[in-house]
């Protein structure tokens, strides 16, 4: 059964393609959200960026800066990997929501909306995507489906 209304399509011949690809839409969102976090965590934990991140947190008054930077690096690297895999999706996603809320309010708010000017557009967007993951979970192609229960 499809929720595609063939009558509304400008090119109704594309309906079979849309129907075939629709189950991949939610995994694409989840995988993209997780995969986007991974390089940020890698930079902090593996490529030596943790001291700079901690110093930046301290300048913003986010203390204890070093443990917080370590937590965020782990959330980005390990949590991003878990999101991409769809494992413990809601648990990781709610932490990303909190992380992005702090980034919006404490880091980017003063720069206005546009990300091109250092504004809060980018973390707000990813925070809302993570919130959608909290609401819906990992979806049918997530490893969460192999667990006996989900959060």
- The residue that leads in pLDDT, 42 or 150, is 42
Task: Please give the Cα distance from 117 to 99 (Å, whole number).
Answer: 20
Does residue 36 fall inside a structural domain?
Answer: yes
pLDDT band for 140, please (50, 70, 90 cuts).
confident
Does residue 95 fall inside a structural domain?
Answer: yes
Task: Please give the Cα distance from 121 to 143 (Å, whole number).
Answer: 30
For residue 43, pLDDT beyond 70: yes
Q: Look at residue 1 in the predicted model and tell me its pLDDT.
A: 42
Would you state the structure tokens that stand for residue 109, as one six-digit string?
């708010």
Does residue 71 fall inside a structural domain?
Answer: yes
Task: Please give the Cα distance from 60 to 68 (Å, whole number).
Answer: 12
Task: Please give the Cα distance from 10 to 7 (Å, whole number).
Answer: 8
Percent of the chain with pLDDT over 90: 93
**pLDDT tens per residue, range 9-19:** 999 999 999 99
Q: Where are the beta strands (DSSP E) in the chain?
A: none
Number of structural domains in the chain = 1
The pLDDT of 91-109, averaged and rounded, is: 97
Percent of the chain with pLDDT over 70: 99
Does residue 146 fall inside a structural domain?
Answer: no
Which residue range(s) make up the domain with 105?
A: 26-137
**pLDDT tens per residue, range 44-74:** 999 999 999 999 999 999 999 999 999 999 9
Residue 64 preceded by cis peptide, ω within 30: yes
Does residue 3 fall inside a structural domain?
Answer: no
CB-based contacts of 149, cutoff 8 Å, min separation 6: none
Q: What is the mean pLDDT of the chain?
A: 95
Q: Look at residue 2 in the predicted model and tell me its pLDDT.
A: 59
């Amino acid at each position: 059964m499809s929720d595609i209304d063939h009558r509304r399509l400008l090119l109704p011949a594309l309906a079979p393609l849309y129907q075939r690809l629709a189950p991949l839409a939610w995994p694409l969102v989840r995988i993209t959200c997780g995969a986007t976090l991974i390089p940020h965590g890698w930079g902090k934990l593996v490529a030596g960026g943790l001291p700079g991140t901690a110093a930046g947190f301290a300048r913003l008054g986010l203390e204890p800066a070093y443990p917080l930077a370590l937590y965020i690096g782990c959330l980005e690297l390990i949590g991003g990997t878990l999101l991409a895999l769809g494992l413990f999706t809601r648990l990781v996603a709610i932490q990303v929501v909190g992380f992005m809320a702090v980034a919006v309010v404490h880091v980017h708010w003063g720069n206005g909306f546009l990300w091109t000017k250092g504004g809060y557009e980018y973390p707000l967007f990813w925070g809302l995507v993570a919130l959608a993951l909290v609401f819906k979970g990992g979806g049918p192609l997530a490893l969460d489906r192999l667990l006996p229960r989900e959060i």
